[in-house]
Structure 1
Amino acid sequence: MSRIEWERIGRERRRVSRWSGGTTAEIAIHPATSQYAARNFAWRVSTATVEAERTDFTPLDGFSRILMVLENELTLHHEGHGTYRLRPYEQNAFEGGWRTSSEGRATDFNLIYDSRLRARMSVLEVPGEAALVAAVGSLPCEEGEHWIHRIWYTAEGSVEAADAGGNALCRLDAGDALLFAVHRSHGEESWSLRNAASGRAVVIESVVFS
């Protein structure tokens, strides 16, 4: 069995709250005992609905952000730092302390993390006829980094995750997530995602180094 720590986070566990432009659903926060309102977290992943045509983002000094659109389109205006129009599965990275506003009604996926950390986000499209293999534990850490946290969030369809030994771990339907932590001393393992249905399956991968 794999020595990687992992946890399935079902859609029903997400904590939904209001923000000035709509609603947000927290998928995971680290450490687990931290709170978004207290700003005492290292990183947080969530989805949000933007219900107002124009919104101002909450200032988050000391944090960096990556935002990816899931549905519809969204235009981000960063005062002094440019304007970006995002379509589904396009992303924009920016600093939480910037004065940012948006135009458009959309659903998006958000990663917020301490600006002293490194992070990235990508889209994994899982084919219907084969498994998508992901190398876990192979990403190089920089000096001072000890842990790699990955979050697989199912944006469309359903997938089944298996570890390096082919052991089935769990099924992830749309809105479900898989969180796993890997220490830098851990060797590489090849985990897999298999499309569990006949339609399209899309997984968003977020990675945070700490």
Structure 2
Amino acid sequence: MQYQIIKKKNYESNTWTHGETTQLKIYPHDGDYKNRDFLWRVSSATVTKELSDFTVLFGIKRWIMPFDHQLHLSHHQNGKPMYSITLNPYESHCFKGDWETKSKGIARDFNLMLNEGAYGILNAAKVSEDGKELGSIFPEAFDERLPLADHKLTLGIYSREGNISLNVSDTMSILLPCEDLLLLDYTLVEVDEIKKYRLKHNGVNSSQVVLFAVTY
């Protein structure tokens, strides 16, 4: 297993029609979001208008999760309504980027974008100072149907509600400051080991933690 922590100060922020978007990570590192030249991308955005239209992203699968307020999404395809969904804070939703998507609500959200050749899932879990094993709070990431034998595996961890730590062993713990991004790169043979890593919130109160897994 290899890991890296991306500091908040190194994120890239830009404005969009209805707020601000902050890119936490793009893969490969020289990928270009504007040209849609990437395998996967993680970002956080503010929606500052009550009603907004999402950018259409052909060929890209999208996951979204609001942090602080409800977000109501309605999807259309070729001008015809498909379905609508209301997301509460820390609930995730997956949809196709080429759908015409409208949102209602002012919120900050977390986004995972997957281009062709990448597969992934976004979720959240509440952890306390006692900690929980990754395999118990994010079992979807270790579903044998998700990883592909010839693909890379990355698991991401992010918190907006305080510092957290990941206990890798009795002698090793990774401290993750609030709003920094932790990325774990590992192989199929390490899955059983990674599942036992214990995620803890370094405070009295429990904390919601964002987790995502990508195979690519």
Q: TM-score, normalised by structure 1?
A: 0.89
Q: How does 1:179-198 map to 2 (within 5 A)?
A: 179-189=183-193, 190-198=196-204
Q: 2: CA distance between counterparts of 1:168 and 1:177?
A: 15
1:25 aligns to 2:22 (yes or no): yes
| 2:74 maps to which of 77, 99, 102 | 77
SS at match of 2:197: strand
1:177 aligns to 2:177 (yes or no): no
1:154 aligns to 2:159 (yes or no): yes
Deviation digits for residues 119-144 of structure 1 (CA, Å, limit 9, x no counterpart): 1111121123x121224995425556
Q: 1: CA distance between counterparts of 2:3 and 2:150?
A: 19
One-letter amino acid of the structure 1 residue matched with residue 155 of structure 2: R
Contact 1:145 1:209 in 2 (8 A): no
Please name the residue that 1:86 is paired with: 87
**1:48 Cα deviation after fit:** 0.5
One-letter amino acid of the structure 2 residue matched with residue 174 of structure 1: C
**1:181 Cα deviation after fit:** 1.1
| Unaligned 5+ runs, structure 2 | none
| Unaligned 5+ runs, structure 1 | none
Please name the residue that 1:37 is paired with: 34
Please name the residue that 2:6 is paired with: 9
Please name the residue that 1:113 is paired with: 114
Question: Considering only aligned residues, what root-mean-square deviation do their CA atoms show, in Å?
Answer: 2.0
Alpha-carbon distance change, 187 to 149 in structure 1, aligned in 2, over 3 angstroms: closer
Q: 1: CA distance between counterparts of 2:207 and 2:60?
A: 31
1:48 aligns to 2:34 (yes or no): no
Contact 2:128 2:205 in 1 (8 A): no
**1:54 Cα deviation after fit:** 1.1
**1:161 Cα deviation after fit:** 1.7
Q: 1: CA distance between counterparts of 2:120 and 2:36?
A: 18
**1:199 Cα deviation after fit:** 2.4
Contact 1:157 1:199 in 2 (8 A): no
Q: 2: CA distance between counterparts of 1:178 and 1:40?
A: 23
Deviation digits for residues 57-83 of structure 1 (CA, Å, limit 9, x no counterpart): 111101000101101111111013211
Q: TM-score, normalised by structure 2?
A: 0.87
Q: Which has the higher helix share?
A: 2
Contact 2:125 2:211 in 1 (8 A): yes
Q: Percent identity?
A: 27
Contact 1:157 1:202 in 2 (8 A): no
**1:166 Cα deviation after fit:** 3.8
SS at match of 2:32: coil
Q: 2: CA distance between counterparts of 1:131 and 1:183?
A: 24
One-letter amino acid of the structure 2 residue matched with residue 132 of structure 1: K
Q: 2: CA distance between counterparts of 1:105 and 1:187?
A: 38
Q: Which has the higher strand share?
A: 1
